[in-house]
């Protein structure tokens, strides 16, 4: 009985590890907008590109969010 419980626990741990590995490998890179050329994605919202977090100062390096917003459309 004890051996069966041990193997069951071991299999559960293996499955959890597999899920963790899969979630790490499937994680998308952050799509930091540089404020330009986001294209059709912007059609779905009313916001103007450049209102996103990349324009927060303090902590952001110059290369991030430092480009002029270029929306596909305007309101």
Partner 1 sequence: MFVDLVDSSAFASVLGLKEYADYVESFHKVVRVQCEHFFEDYLRGKYERGRDYDYVVLGDQVVFFMHTAKPSNDVYLLATLGLTLKASWIASPVNRERIERRSAASEIAVGINFGTVWARQQGTGYEMQGYAINLAKRIESHSRGGQHFRIFLSDAAYNLIHTRMRNLLFSDRVLASGKGILGRFSVYEIADAFVDSVGRLAPEIAELFEELMGDAIDSNSRDLWIHSAYQISSAHHHGMVTEKAAVRCRSVLNYQPENAVALYYLAQFYREQGNLELAEISYLQLLRAWPDFGHGHLEFGKCLTEMGKEKEARTAYLRAERLGIEEATEGRAQGEGLEETPEQ
Q: Which residues bind partner 1 (CB under 8 A)?
A: 34-37, 39-40, 43, 48, 50-51, 55-58, 61-63, 66-75
Closest distance between partner 1 and the C-beta of residue 43, in Å? 6
Q: What own/partner pairs with CB < 8 Å and gap ≥ 24 does 10-17 have?
A: none
Cα–Cα distance, 63 to 58 (Å, whole number): 13
Residue number with CB closer to partner 1 (15 or 41) = 41
- Percent composition of the chain: helix, strand, coil (DSSP 3-state, to 5): 45, 0, 55
Closest distance between partner 1 and the C-beta of residue 15, in Å? 37
Residue number with CB closer to partner 1 (15 or 43) = 43
Residue number with CB closer to partner 1 (2 or 74) = 74
């Amino acid at each position: 009985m004890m051996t069966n419980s041990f193997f069951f626990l071991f299999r559960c741990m293996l499955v959890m590890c597999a899920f963790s590995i899969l979630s790490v490998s499937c994680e998308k890179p952050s799509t930091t907008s540089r404020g330009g050329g986001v294209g059709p994605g912007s059609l779905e919202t009313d916001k103007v590109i450049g209102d996103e977090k990349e324009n927060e100062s303090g902590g952001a390096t110059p290369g991030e969010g430092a480009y002029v917003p270029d929306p596909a459309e305007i309101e």
